[in-house]
Every structure is written in C-alpha cells, then in structure tokens.
Amino acid sequence: MKFDTVVLGSGIVGVCVAAHLQKRGRQVALIDRKLPGNETSFGNAGLIQREGVYPYAFPRELSTLLRYARNRSPELRYHANALLKTAPFLWQYWRNSHPAKHAAIARSYATLIEHCVSEHRALAAEASASELLRASGWIKVFRTEAAWDAETRVAEKWHREYGVAFEALDAARLQQAEPNLAPSLSGGLRYSASHSVSDPNALVTAYAKYFEALGGRFFIGDADSLREGWELDTQAGTITASSVVVALGPWSDRVAKRFGYDLPLAVKRGYHMHYAPQPTARLHHPVLDVEKGYLLAPMARGIRLTTGAEIALCDAPKTPLQLAAVEPVARTLFPLGERLDDEPWMGRRPCTPDMMPIIGPAKNQQGLWFAFGHAHHGLTLGPVTGRLLAEMMTGEETVVDGRPFRVERF
C-alpha cells in the first residue's frame, strides 16, 4: 500500500494535518494504535482559546515556587522521581518564562492563536460538525477582589497588545450569566471571542470522518515500526510513503529520537471526571476557578471537572490526587451531583520548554515532518497547525510565518 504521506497520530493535530493534506490532493494514511481522538484529545477542557496569546508560563514568584515545592497545590503536583529527569526541561521553561522572553514568544505564538477560532469554524463546517462548537466564550471566576483586579489588568494588557476581547463581570453580572454558581464570588472575566466544544472526542471523530470522506484512509498501526524509506506496519499490512508526519503528542520524541532528533519534550498530565448536575442546575459556560486551580465545563456527558498540571513521567501510573482535592471545592462552586465515570481519566499534554509547538520539516531527514508540542493548546491549535503544515509540505504560501516553530530552534 503506497501513499504520498503517512501521518502518525490521530489526535486533534494529526487528524487536522491529514485532512488538510488530503484536501490538497495528497493521498494520506492516518495511523494510530487507537481510534481517532481517544488519547490526549479525549480529555481536555474543550476550550478554543482565542485569548491564549501568551502560552502558559512557569511561575517565577518565590512565594508561588515555595508553595508548589510543598506539593499540595491544587493547580500543580509533581512526582519526586520525575523531577531529576525533567530538571533540564524545567530550568529552560523557567528561563523562557522571564517576562521579556515570554513577551517575545507571545509575538510569534499569537500569530497561530489569531486563527484558532476561524480555522475550527471552517473545518467544522466542512465536516458537518458545527453544532459541536459553542460561541459563547468561557469565564474565569474569582473568590477575592485582589485576584479579580490582578487578572483584569492582565486581560487589559492582552487587549491592548493583541485585541483580545473580554468582558469584566462584577458579582451581580456574574450571577446573571451563571445563576447556579456560588453567590459569594467577587467577579469574573468572560473571554467572549473564544469558543468551547461540547464533546472534544466527537469533534475529532467528525474531522477524521471528513478526512475519510475526502478519500483518506485510517489504519490501526504501530508508529514504533517506522523504518527508513518511510515504511511501517499496520493491521492491514505494510504501508510505504514518500513523507511522514510525526504528530504523536507526548510520544513524538520517542520516534523523533530514532531519526536523530533528541528533543526537549516533557509532559504535563491532567485528569477529569464527569458529574451529573443537581436537578434544575445548569452551567452555561466553561468556568475556571482561578484561585483553586480547576475548571468545570458543560459537556455532552455531564459536567466535566478538569484538573491543573501534574509533572510526572509520561507513562507512570495514575495519581489523581488533584482531582480528589478539588472535587469538594468544586461542589461549593456549583451544585454537582453523582460521578458519572467509573474512574478518573488521565491525559498527557506534550510540552516544549519555550512553550511553542514544533511544526515543520526535519532538515536532516528527507520527507520527515513534525507537528507536536502544543501543551495546553492542542485542541485550540489543531486546525491552524494542520493548515500551516499542509501548506509547508505542498509549497503554498503559508497562513502564518512558520519559521518560529521549526525544530532547528532546539
């Protein structure tokens, strides 16, 4: 079986790369060990973050670092045995989070973020999945005036620099927007230009079906079987192609290393659980409890509670301590009912130390391309990444300047 391109990984990024290449006349095989959208893309908060022009930085305040060191913070936990291995990554991440460097990174990163909503809307329309997108934005809520004031100043900065739309909600207006939230909240910020998704897995599945409707083919296969000449094994037989795209999320570095690229990729793990709302209670927007480090999102299955980050080895056993810590707090914010899942879900966010994805060609290997490292914004940036890489591979004018995202920066 011969194809023009093999795309390894059927999460949101890989599916979007495959669809955009197939649209441009390439014959594409999409390969994964599971069905599309059933790894990291299954369990995110469902946000398409048009406001996310500044990628999530490593905290630099001493008081915050000391608090994290105690390993009891709801928004960040770590495995002690992972710190030594990830120390070089964390050091570079901390250095790149200096305000001046972070601002420089944002100038490149914002070029992708600018297109995140429009590219999702276009692809969803083509895939007959527009009903899965919600244009109502999402809300950060605050328990203290000080936290609300500080975040409002940040939102104003983003608005001045990049035109990020937001709405400041005092306590009364927040209650109007979300009547079932705790009335003791001080206020909120609504990012009105952002979108959310009612079922991320269903959205990735719809994009994958669109790819197949265009003539693309999906195979269950093993990325570790990839060989020189771009040949690999699937359940349907051996596939060959003239090019290959590595879009394996947190497992991408394992394949890249076999072909000479030792990349500084780490993971931030996260957990979720679904809950039934109490009778008559309704949540209209995804809501981030900023000071307590968790997010509640209305999903097709119920109310999804998602946690912050866990620094751990990629395939270490689950330790859903954050979920256990924030669930009682979340119940005071919104009237959650019974758990709907048998056990907590866990996913892995693939992260680079400069907070930007790796998108583009591997210069040392003809026909090898990369599309991974999107950290917290994989769902957000999937379609624009797919378009950008497809344009690079077909020699078209690119939607944004792809040079800041090339692998050579490492």
Spans of all domains in the chain: 2-44+201-262+354-409, 63-98+133-195+265-351
Q: What is the mean pLDDT of residues 304-312?
A: 96
SS3 sequence, 75-117? CEEECHHHHHHHHHHHHHHHHHCCHHHHHHHHHHHHHHHCCHH
pLDDT digits (tens, 9 = 90+) for 380-403: 999 999 999 999 999 999 999 999
Residues 236/68, Cβ–Cβ less than 8 Å: no
Q: Is the pLDDT of residue 307 over 90?
A: yes
**Is 44's pLDDT higher than 90?**
no
SS3 211: helix
pLDDT grade for 410, boundaries at 50, 70 and 90? very high
pLDDT tens digit sequence for 125-159: 999 999 999 999 999 999 999 999 999 999 999 99
Instruction: State both tokens at 202.
Output: 């269903």
Spatial separation of the C-alpha atoms in residues 143 and 183, rounded to whole Å: 10
Handedness of CA 9, 13, 15, 19 (dihedral sign): negative
Whether the Cβ atoms of residue 198 and residue 379 lie closer than 8 Å to each other: no
- What is the rounded CA–CA span in Å between residue 235 and residue 224? 14
Measured CA to CA in angstroms, residue 147 lies from 51, 151, 164, 186, 385 at distances of 18, 6, 20, 9, 34
Give the contacts of 172 (CB within 8 A, at least 6 positions apart).
Answer: none
- On the CB side of 53, CA atoms within 13 Å amount to 23
Q: How many CB atoms lie within 10 A of CB 268?
A: 19
N- to C-terminal Cα separation, the chain: 35
Supply the pLDDT for residue 347.
95
Please determine whether the domains at 2-44+201-262+354-409 and 63-98+133-195+265-351 fall in the same fold group of CATH.
no
Report the chain's mean pLDDT, rounded to a whole number: 96
Residue type, 310: E
Backbone dihedral angles phi then psi of residue 267, each to the nearest 5 degrees: -125, 145
pLDDT of residue 332: 97
CB 232 within 8 A of CB 31: yes
Q: For the packed helices 12-23 and 378-394, what is the interaxial angle rounded to 10 degrees?
A: 30
Which of the four pLDDT bands, split at 50, 70 and 90, describes residue 315?
very high
Rounded distance, CA 349 to CA 170, Å? 33
pTM passes above 0.85: yes
Summarised one tens digit per residue, pLDDT across range 177-191 is 999 999 999 999 999
Question: Are the C-beta atoms of residues 287 and 280 closer than 8 Å to each other?
Answer: no
Q: Which of 303, 290, 409, 320 is nearest to 358 (CA)?
A: 409
Superfamily name with CATH number, domain 63-98+133-195+265-351: D-Amino Acid Oxidase, subunit A, domain 2 (3.30.9.10)
Q: Fill in the DSSP letter of residue 128.
A: T
Helix or strand or coil: residue 1? coil
Q: What CATH number does domain 2-44+201-262+354-409 carry, 3.30.1300.10, 2.70.240.10, 3.40.50.150, 3.50.50.60?
A: 3.50.50.60
Rounded to an integer, what is the distance from CA 403 to the centroid of its chain? 21
Q: What is the pLDDT of residues 257-284, one digit of tens each?
A: 999 999 999 999 999 999 999 999 999 9
Measure the CA–CA gap between 192 and 234, rounded to whole angstroms. 44
What b/e sequence results for 107-120 when a residue is b if at least 16 CB atoms lie within 10 Å of its CB, and e otherwise?
Answer: ebbbbbbbbbbebb
pLDDT band of residue 221 (cuts 50, 70, 90) is very high
In this predicted structure, what is the pLDDT of residue 305? 98
Q: How many residues does the chain have?
A: 410
| CA gap 119, 12 in Å, rounded | 13
Element (H, E) at 271: strand 266-277
Q: What is the dihedral of CA 370, 315, 266, 228, to 10 degrees?
A: -30
Q: In whole angstroms, what is the distance from residue 116 CA to residue 388 CA? A: 12
